[in-house]
Amino acid sequence: MQKSDASSLQAYGQAQYRRANFHRALAAFTKATNQALQLGGGDTVGILDNRAATHCKLQVPKSGLQDGKRMIEENKMDSRGYLRTAKILQLMGRSDKAIQTYQYALRVLPLDDPGRQLWIHLDLSKANKPNVSLKSIQAFLRRSHWRLTRASLVNLQPVDFPRLMAGLRQIPSLEHLELLGSFSSKFDVAPVYTLTGLRTLVCSASSEMTLAHFRKVLLDCPLLERVEVYIKPAPFSDVETFPAKLPNLRSLIILGIDYPRYSNDPSTLNLPFPTNATLFDIIPNLEEFYLICNSVMIRNVPEVSNLPKLKRFGLLGIKLNKYPELPESLEHLSLSMSDYNLPLGVPSNDISAMAPNLKTLILHRFQDDELGPFLISFTQSKSSLTHLDLEGCHLHVEDLLIAMMRGNLEGLTYLNISGLAEIDDKVISNIIDMVPNIKELNISRTQVKEHSVKKLLDSDKSNLKKLVVHKMETPFSRDFLDYARSKGVEIPPPINLKGTKRAPVTPTPRR
């Protein structure tokens, strides 16, 4: 190791620190500091940060505090100096001085500085302990001087949640709340509606709420712009009133719980609110709307055709007896894992003229006995369509070829035909001629052979940047994969590596 190599000295010190050889680590960090200051090179602030931490391990916090202050002198725009200095002040029992340091940092650091997130985002998803104590959360809030803007909560004790909500209610800057997984079955989400300044609310399945709580949240949190919630099935008698106006709401994602214990109550997705013809009167500025469940038949599809700003819409995991009318503004549509079954004697609505500005169509595992005619008709006159996902569909290859030959797919840059039983080399030949702009292609679990894909790679028309070929019926050779990569094409490796056993993953709908 050269004496002038501050970075190598720092790396050596870090290795000694990890082995709890703190005296050797301190000596290395001191040499690294001197080299960085005298000769330049190396991360001076980072080296001082390491040395300050080592001083604290050696029970010499005063020396660590000197290094913390020196970090700030080196670079007043580096958040690490303020964080280290304040942390050491807390260790020394000087909490008031620590809070002043945090306050000063929040005043001087740029708004886009990543270090600010350490003060304004309470993120328990990265906590090492299985259960996070309320005391440690309160300490974080004091350090942030109650300037929190975002909270991601997980692994909380049920008894602590109402008390935490009471504390968060005192923080006017809090705008984003995520209730993530691993909550107790006794968890009660009700206190959320007391956070009246929320703009974003995202709840996991383990923090499901009743319809009454959902209604209360919408009523008492009028600033909400994005809501993603799991709602328990409820009797129709529970739906008496709903918010008359939600002008700020731009994204609404409702996930229905379909548990046997709720078998006597209809799914939330069948309640009047999501399918109300006056949806425009309630949420006029809605830009994103998803209904997601597991094989639930909805009696009436949502009335979204009069939502002038709707760009993303999805009916996922749902049994449909009618296609919804779609607005001209729509750019992204997902029917992933849904099932369309038109009752006998009922005419299908005309879909060819719908959503003329559509860019993305996701039909992943979508079931429709007439899927081919649907695809041909729906993709007609949609020159804006660039993203098409047909993975796992029961689609006859002739229908896909007809859509190509009619020019419906000419603008595609992404095509996923993974798992389609009849996909073979003739499809690749048509892609070369009829889908000239394709940049990303997924042909996993198909009959395609590598010689036809090589023609695609060698074509003067080819713009291919990424090719996915997992679990092919005839596996592609290493030579071919190397050749494709030499042409600048990304070939993602298989997800399940050899020699590893993984439990089968339950497929989830794609948004």
pLDDT tens digits, residue range 69-123?
Answer: 999 999 988 888 988 998 898 788 886 787 778 778 877 887 777 666 666 777 7
Domain locations along the chain: 6-109, 322-511
pLDDT score of 222 more than 60: yes
Supply the DSSP symbol for 104: H
Task: Tell me which CATH code domain 6-109 carries.
Answer: 1.25.40.10
pLDDT score, position 308: 93
**8 A C-beta contact, residue 249 and residue 273:** no
Task: Tell me which CATH code domain 322-511 carries.
Answer: 3.80.10.10
The whole-number average pLDDT for the span 34-49 is: 86
Higher pLDDT, 70 or 125: 70
Q: Name beta bridge partners: 467.
A: 441
**8 A C-beta contact, residue 400 and residue 373:** no
The whole-number average pLDDT for the span 136-144 is: 73
Burial class (CB in 10 A: 0-12, 13-18, 19+), 238: middle
pLDDT score of 26 more than 90: yes
Buried/exposed 367-395: b ≥16 CB within 10 Å, e otherwise: bbeebbebbbbbbeebeebbbbbbbbbeb
**Largest Cα–Cα separation, the chain:** 87
Alpha carbon separation from 457 to 416, 464, 468 (Å, rounded):
17, 7, 13
CA proximity to 195, closest of 212, 210, 216: 216
Mean pLDDT, the chain, rounded, equals 84
Q: Name 339's Cβ contacts closer than 8 Å, sequence gap at least 6.
A: 295, 318, 319, 320, 366, 367, 368
pLDDT score, position 499: 46
Element containing residue 157 per DSSP (H, E) = none
Quote the CA–CA distance of 70 and 33 in Å, as a whole number.
Answer: 11
Q: How wide is the angle at C-alpha 372 spanned by C-alphas 366 and 373, nearest 5°?
A: 120
The whole-number average pLDDT for the span 459-479 is: 93
Span of 164-178, 287-301, 307-321, 364-378 with lowest mean pLDDT: 287-301
Quote the CA–CA distance of 432 and 413 in Å, as a whole number.
Answer: 12
pLDDT tier at 410, thresholds 50, 70, 90: very high
Q: Name 51's Cβ contacts closer than 8 Å, sequence gap at least 6.
A: 13, 26, 29, 30, 33, 64, 67
pLDDT tier at 411, thresholds 50, 70, 90: very high
Pull the structure tokens for residue 67: 């290094």
